[in-house]
Amino acid sequence: MTANSRCSFAKPPGLETQLREIESLLRQCELRAGDSWYVVERRWYEQWKEFVENGDQNSSSFPGQINNAELFEDLESYHLKERLVENEDFMLVPADAWHKLLGWYGMVDGQPPLERKVVDLPSTLKVEVYPVEIFLCLHSNMENVVSSQFSRADDIQSIQRTICETFSVPQASECRLWMKSSDGSCERLRNVHVSVLDACLSSGMTVIMETRNADGTWPSSRPQIINSVEEQDYQGQPGVCGLVNLGNTCFMNSALQCLSNTPPLTEYFLQSSYLEELNFTNPLGMKGEIAEAYADVIKQMWSGRHHSMVPRVFKTKVGHFASQFLGYQQHDSQELLSFLLDGLHEDLNRVKNKEYIELCDANGRPDQQVAEEAWRNHLRRNDSVIVDTFHGLFKSTLVCPECRKISVTFDPFCYLSVPLPASKERVMEIFFVSLDPYAKPAQHRVVVPKAGKVSDLCAALSEMTGVPPSKMVVADVFNHHFYKIYNIDESLSCILDRDDIFVYELNTPKQREEQLQQEERVLLALYLRERSYCRDLSSGSSSYGTTLFGHPLLLSVPISCCSQEALYNLFLQRLARYVRCPDPSEELEEGEEDNDEEQQQQKSQTNGISDGEEQEELELPHPCCADANSLSESTNSAESHLDANHTEPPLDSDVTKNGSQDQTEPLASSSANASITDTSSSVSVTDTSSSTNVSITDTSSCTDDMNTSRNSNASSEPPAEQPQQSCDTTEEEKEDGQEACSPRLPANEQPDKRNTCRRRRKTLFTIQAVNSNGTTERKRGEGGSAVSFSSQPYVAIDWDPDMKKRFYNENEAEKYVKHSSMEVPQQQNTVQLQECIELFTTVETLEEENPWYCPVCKKHQLATKKLDLWSLPEVLIIHLKRFSYTKFTREKLESIVDFPLRNLDFSGCLLRKNLSNGEPPSRYDLIAVSNHYGGLRDGHYTSYARNKDNGQWYDFDDSKVTYAREDEIVTNAAYVLFYQRQDKIRKPTLPAPNASPALATRPTGDATSSKCNTSELEAVPVETD
First to last CA, the chain: 43
Examine the residue annotation and report whether 414 is marked as an active-site residue of this protein.
Answer: no
Integer-rounded Cα Rg, in Å, for the chain is 41
- Give the residue from 663, 660, 644, 666 showing the smallest Cα distance to 652: 663
- Separation between Cα atoms, residue 771 and residue 780, nearest integer Å: 13
Phi and psi based region of residue 466 (left: phi greater than 0; alpha: psi -120 to 50; beta: remaining): left
Task: State residue 856 phi and psi, 5-degree precision.
Answer: -90, -50
Task: Answer yes or no: are the C-beta atoms of 186 and 178 closer than 8 Å.
Answer: yes
Classify the C-alpha dihedral 568-570-574-576 as positive or negative.
positive
Residues 6 or more apart whose CB falls under 8 angstroms from that of 282 comprise 346, 347, 349, 352
Q: Give me the amino acid identity at 488.
A: I
Classify the C-alpha dihedral 259-264-270-275 as positive or negative.
negative
The arrangement of strands across the sheet holding 186-189 comes to: 141-150, 132-138, 206-211, 175-180, 186-189
- Separation between Cα atoms, residue 427 and residue 421, nearest integer Å: 17
Name the E strands within 819-914. 830-832, 844-845, 852-854, 859-861, 864-871, 875-881, 883-885, 890-892, 896-898, 904-905
DSSP output for 188-219: EE--TTSBTTTTT--TT-EEEEEE--TTS--S
Q: How many CA atoms lie within 13 A of 559 on its CB side?
A: 14
Q: Are strands 794-799 and 960-963 parallel, antiparallel or unpaired?
A: unpaired
The arrangement of strands across the sheet holding 542-558 comes to: 674-676, 542-558, 521-535, 794-799, 765-770
- Using the CB atoms, write b or e for 800-836: b if 16+ within 10 Å: beebbeebbeeeebbbbbbbbbbeeeeeeeebebbeb
Task: Answer yes or no: are the C-beta atoms of 654 and 719 closer than 8 Å.
Answer: no
Task: Answer yes or no: are the C-beta atoms of 76 and 119 closer than 8 Å.
Answer: no
Q: How many CA atoms lie within 13 A of 822 on its CB side?
A: 22
Task: State residue 103 phi and psi, 5-degree precision.
Answer: -70, -30
Task: Answer yes or no: are the C-beta atoms of 372 and 287 closer than 8 Å.
Answer: no
Q: Looking at 137, 175, 241, 250, which residue is catalytic?
A: 250
- Separation between Cα atoms, residue 442 and residue 431, nearest integer Å: 5
Q: Give me the amino acid identity at 600.
A: Q
- Using the CB atoms, write b or e for 956-980: b if 16+ within 10 Å: bbbbbbbbbeeebbbbbbbbbbbbb
**DSSP label at 688?**
-
Q: Give me the amino acid identity at 472.
A: M
Examine the residue annotation and report whether 250 is marked as an active-site residue of this protein.
Answer: yes
Q: How many CA atoms lie within 13 A of 85 on its CB side?
A: 2
The number of residues making up the chain comes to 1025
- Separation between Cα atoms, residue 352 and residue 350, nearest integer Å: 6
- Give the residue from 301, 19, 120, 36 showing the smallest Cα distance to 949: 301
How many other CB atoms are found less than 10 A from the CB of residue 191? 17
Residues with catalytic annotation?
250, 940
